[in-house]
Structure 1
């Protein structure tokens, strides 16, 4: 790479703002996700499909949060560390590996959750109202996302696939980097990666847009489906279920748009402009990339807030931690986790 000799000069935005942001997100995200995991482990059945997806999302969130102290240290002091130092290897290499694996696991599972929500609603309405799903293959695929056994295997495959691709890309990149001489940990090659990292980043970008368009199509199809139902019949008591599913898919779409879309739009631009031999511009490109990555990581800290605002069961369970309640009341709360009215 021609620009590997370019000396990056981080601004205060990198050495101060990013460490402060990560330092704030770490305790907030860790506490919120641990609390959410504890509440759902007590209230939700492990045989429920939505719980399986939620458990994996919370696990990915906690892994992202675990990297934040290392990334905060890297951005604050990485330009002072030597490339071969232990601090550099731990703070950036390990932090980057866990961060990117968890982010793309999150994206893929969010897409699976949206399909599960959509399939649940279609299942509850097909027999009465909708002739929309006429193809057995389409019906079978949607039905799979509602099955707990399929959800477990799908999550395992997602974790293993993303982990293998990321580890392979980083391993080959580190080996290629061994022939080059670097003095500082914070440099262009570390920030941009080599050829294998760029290939992996391109695959990840494609994966994101496939997930993004799948969720968008699900929301559009659901909106059309509900519109047809309302024209043909009064949906009555099922209206609350439909509204909940529609809202949950919309929240997933907004999350993908706000937290992940900016980074995945910028990443191809970053790869193209990286080939230009312009050090001042490279500094700005690297810093923009790092802030957009931080935005994607911030999603892990916002998840508990979103769950609190949207999920009435979670809100009641959280309130129950600070109030006295009878065993019968706890049993009633546990019964609220049903596939009939799926929650986020």
Structure 2
């Protein structure tokens, strides 16, 4: 058994707590997202652009949930499996592929939802006399596309194609080339947790991408607040207060989700790659534990999204309420 294998030892958090957490998240996420997808596909007739974005977000969430059992089994049994065993390769490939593809798709869709919500406000105000020519062109024509259902469908398809086209080759390269270069003996090892050069570069690019997605949402939110202050000084908006409050709430919810779930992961990932180079086993174990916990936190967003849908979309909330009301009425009559 080589030094790398003996250096990396899973703690109780990795071998016990994470499998339990991933199992619970899988059950909750599978039920909530399956119910949400059923509502979006069958119970909402006229779909707005937001519904299309949310339906694709649910698809990404279900993909994350499908990876959770693999991640749970890896943390539970990975330190017992041989590195080149079939179960190690399957769990690593499917778990990593599903998790990263869906995380990046989710981030892009959340960014488009933020832009769409912002466009809701700007579309209503782009024809005002106080609006500049630049704002009328940019907000009235460019951002307007994000609210068009056909554009939303095409954009989501492009998202899936681009993300899959980038991540799948990286994962295949890791599985075929990088994973065979190491001299590890156990599945849970330094090579698996850190990746080689190509994987680390891809990880840093992905982390930068997370930061840019967060910046899009942040910019949309504060541009909205700035615009709201501007028009309040120019005109009365009492009749529009409900629309403005709704848009502001939507952007704020998306911003909170990114701050809580993704921002810690994106901040820690570059730090992780820098600090892991010193070779200290104890520190390396702490770094790996932290990385795995933050990855679990990022994936947990997929299981809690159905709750967020209740805050983001009135049609979804009303449809869900009607379903439970009818179900309770039928149960009482029987």
TM-score normalized with structure 1 length: 0.89
Q: C-alpha displacement at 1:130, in angstroms?
A: 4.4
Greater mean alpha carbon deviation, residues 106-115 or residues 304-313 = 304-313
Distance 1:208 1:133 in 2: 33
Query: C-alpha separation between the residues in 1 aligned to 2:144 and 2:15?
Result: 49
Shift in Å at residue 79 of structure 1?
0.4
CA distance in structure 2 between the partners assigned to 1:24 and 1:125 by the alignment? 45
Q: 1:274 maps to what in 2?
A: 276
Query: What's 2:290 paired with?
Result: 288
Alignment of 1:303-322 (within 5 A): 303-322=305-324
| 2:134 alignment partner, SS class | coil
List alignment gaps of at least 5 residues for structure 2.
328-334
Return the alpha-carbon distance in structure 1 between the equivalents of residues 54 and 120 of structure 2.
Answer: 16
| 1:113 to 2:113 alignment | yes
Counterpart residue number, 1:35: 35
Match of 2:158 in 1: 157
Q: C-alpha distance in 2, partners of 1:133/1:257?
A: 34
Query: Residue in 1 aligned with 2:225?
Result: 223
CA separation of 1:172 and 1:203: change in aligned 2, threshold 3 A: same
Tell me the CA shift for residue 306 of structure 1: 1.8
Contact 2:126 2:135 in 1 (8 A): no
Please give the per-residue CA displacement for 1:250-270, whole angstroms capped at 9, x wherever unaligned: 111111110000000000001
Which residue in the other structure is 2:331 paired with? none
TM-score (norm 2): 0.91
Change (3 A) 1:51 1:310: closer
Residue 11 (structure 1) aligned with residue 7 (structure 2):
no
Aligned residues: 324
| C-alpha distance in structure 1 between counterparts of 2:79 and 2:307, whole Å | 34
Asked whether the equivalents of residues 8 and 187 of structure 1 are also in contact (C-alpha less than 8 Å), the reply is: yes
The SS at the match of 1:274 is helix
Partners in 2 of 1:218 and 1:271 — Cα distance?
Answer: 31
Contact kept in structure 2, 1:219 and 1:246, CA below 8 Å: yes
Residue in 2 aligned with 1:330? none
Mapped pair 1:79 → 2:79: yes
Match of 1:234 among 236, 246, 268: 236
The alignment partner of 2:233 has SS state of helix
Q: What is the aligned counterpart of 2:216 among 214, 217, 222?
A: 214
RMSD of aligned Cα (Å): 2.0
Instruction: Pick which of 89-98 and 291-300 moved more.
Output: 89-98
Q: Residue 325 of structure 2: SS of its match in structure 1?
A: coil
Contact 1:121/1:242 (CA < 8 Å) preserved in 2? yes
Q: Distance in 1 between matches of 2:133 and 2:305?
A: 32
What SS does the aligned partner of 1:183 have?
Answer: coil
The residue that corresponds to 2:330 in the other structure is none
Helix, strand or coil at the partner of 2:9: coil
Structure 1 segment 99-110 matched on structure 2, within 5 A: 99-110=99-110
| Superposed displacement of residue 287, structure 1 | 0.8
The equivalent residue for 1:338 is: none
Distance 1:208 1:98 in 2: 17
CA distance in 2, matches of 1:81, 1:115: 46
C-alpha distance in structure 2 between counterparts of 1:6 and 1:264, whole Å? 28
For residues 82 and 110 of structure 1, do their structure 2 counterparts lie closer, same or farther at Cα, with a shift above 3 Å needed?
same
SS of 1:275 mapped into structure 2: helix
- Which aligned segments of 4 or more residues in structure 1 are displaced greater than 4 angstroms? 3-6
Partner of 2:64: 64
Query: 2:44 maps to what in 1?
Result: 44
Once the two structures are TM-superposed, the CA of residue 47 in structure 1 deviates from its matched residue by 4.9
Does the CA contact (< 8 Å) of 1:46 and 1:52 recur in 2? no
Larger helix percent: 2
Inter-partner Cα distance in structure 1 for 2:221 and 2:30: 30
